[in-house]
A = this chain, B = another copy of it.
Amino acid sequence: MKLLPTGKGAGAKPQGLRDRVAAYVIEKITTGEWATGYRIPSENELVATFGVSRMTVHHALRDLASQGFLARRSGSGTYVAEPSAYIAEYAHLDVIREIEDRGGVHRADVLTREIVQPPSPIATAFGAADTGPLFHAVIVHFEDEIPFELEDRWMDPVFIPDGMAIDLSHQTLFSRLMRIRPYRQGSEQVRAVSISAREEQLLAVPSGTPALEVLRKTWSAAGVVTVARMLRAGLNGAMNGCIRASSDF
């Protein structure tokens, strides 16, 4: 083997070679020179253009494909991906962390904590009618003593064996679950709803205040783990997200 591979070792550029290739492709796309669906130069052509190895080009394109810029078809070529849909990402923190990140003080009121047979809509959400008793909690989260979020959660007791005992003032069920079994998958639905008089009272908002309702269902390989309904009303009730139009540059 050679002692000095021509690339990095010798007269390396300030930036990585991979990044240079990627930047080149990105520029062509963003300037519109390579439109959606355009077939970009092959790996070997880019190898010739940049004088780098094919692996370098390959990984540059691979990364761009994983970021949604390119679509690669083995045996055919690499194409500029269609950006017709864009992704909005909402980074949900743990409620406690969300509040504390804003500099607020969190407090939780546990209104209900029980292990009971769920009503049928909840049982349905858990996938089967033969669900056994489930852990159920209703919690009001305060920010600086102002009600911020009303959480109504059902959970398979298997995942929080100590659910009836743990202190919920300083940790959320969510974070608790995370510690026991991280990495799950789920779906979320967001709506604007009118809420009941009791919910208005718990959230301390005037009658008729619209609320943001988030329905969340979380599952792991073993099945549905937890189903939750979160209500937010008033000034801090917004959700903030970041649009990633197939990318983040």
Chain A positions near chain B (C-beta within 8 angstroms):
29-30, 32, 36, 59, 66, 69, 83-94, 97, 175, 178-194, 208-213, 216, 218, 220-221, 232-233, 237-249
Contacts and interface: CB of A to CB of B under 8 A. Distances in A.
24 contacts: A29-B182, A30-B182, A32-B182, A69-B183, A83-B178, A84-B175, A85-B93, A87-B89, A90-B90, A182-B246, A186-B242, A186-B245, A187-B240, A187-B241, A188-B240, A190-B240, A192-B211, A192-B212, A192-B237, A194-B208, A194-B210, A208-B208, A210-B210, A218-B243
B240 A185 contact: no
Contact of A66 (B66, B183, B211): B66
B89 A85 contact: no
A183 B242 contact: no
Contacts of A242: 185-188
B182 A245 contact: yes
Contacts of A184: 243, 245
A241 B192 contact: no
Given A84-B97, A182-B245, A243-B186, A89 B89 contact: yes
A244 to B, nearest CB: 7
B239 A84 contact: no
A178 to B, nearest CB: 6
Given A83-B178, A85-B91, A85-B92, A189 B30 contact: no
Closest 9 CB pairs of A and B: A210-B210, A186-B243, A192-B192, A192-B210, A192-B212, A83-B182, A188-B241, A190-B239, A88-B90
